[in-house]
Amino acid sequence: MKLSFWERLVVNSPLRAFSLHLLEPWAFGQILAFPQGKRALDIGCGNGQGLAMLAARAKPAKLLGIDLDPAQVARAQARMVALGIPATVRQGRAEELLLADGCVDIITSLGCIHHVPNWRGAVAESARVLAPHGVMYLLEFYRPLLLAIHWLAPHPPARFGHTELLEEITKHKLQVLGQWQCLGLFGVVVAQKSAT
Ligand SMILES: C[S@@+](CC[C@H](N)C(=O)[O-])C[C@H]1O[C@@H](n2cnc3c(N)ncnc32)[C@H](O)[C@@H]1O
């Protein structure tokens, strides 16, 4: 589901960039620092700030961004060119990534899954493309927050909470390495794919 006007304003703001470059890497790093020199994928990459953050902090061997919204894909592509980051950015859907099984070592998905009507399908698809020992870094926004802002930013009705997200993750050979949530409104999860 594409962003509303207000949500687009927030995700393209300097405040979002500040959080993406400083707060989220710090929060993830408390659990597990990004593995270095691996194949990384940012699902729902938006304007590419997350890709820039990954390029700086994970120094990936390969970097791919996927987003549903062609306008955000164009912004991310322009950002990669401007910053000289050799990333591929393309339009696509979190629930059907069109990638081979086990082809990436790091997945970031920062505020994307709650936009996907079939959010369980998006979790399963991320798990499928993650290689054995690969790590998934999630930031998600939950039902109570989404209901409170529904008039400003409508989201698919299939909303979820932190516990439901954790339960879904563990159905797909993923072990939760660490997680936290804030008042049931939003949370962070780092999970690793098992060896087999
Ligand atoms: C809240 S924004 C977050 C963007 C960026 N990750 C960030 O942290 O600033 C959610 C992004 O997910 C994208 N999105 C929504 N539904 C999607 C889907 N089914 N597949 C891929 N991307 C999707 C939106 O276009 C938007 O760019």
**For the segment 16-66, what is each residue's pLDDT rounded down to a tens digit?**
999 999 999 999 999 999 999 999 999 999 999 999 999 999 999 999 999
CATH superfamily of 5-193: Vaccinia Virus protein VP39 (3.40.50.150)
For ligand 1, say whether the CB of 50 is within 6 Å of any of its atoms. yes
What are the domain boundaries of the chain? 5-193
Q: What is the pLDDT of residue 152?
A: 79
* Among candidate residues 159, 162, 98, the one with its CA nearest the CA of residue 125: 98
- pTM here is 0.95
* Of 68, 125, 188, best ligand 1 pocket probe by most atoms within 8 Å of the beta carbon: 68
Q: What is the pLDDT of residue 193?
A: 97
For ligand 1, say whether the CB of 51 is within 6 Å of any of its atoms. no
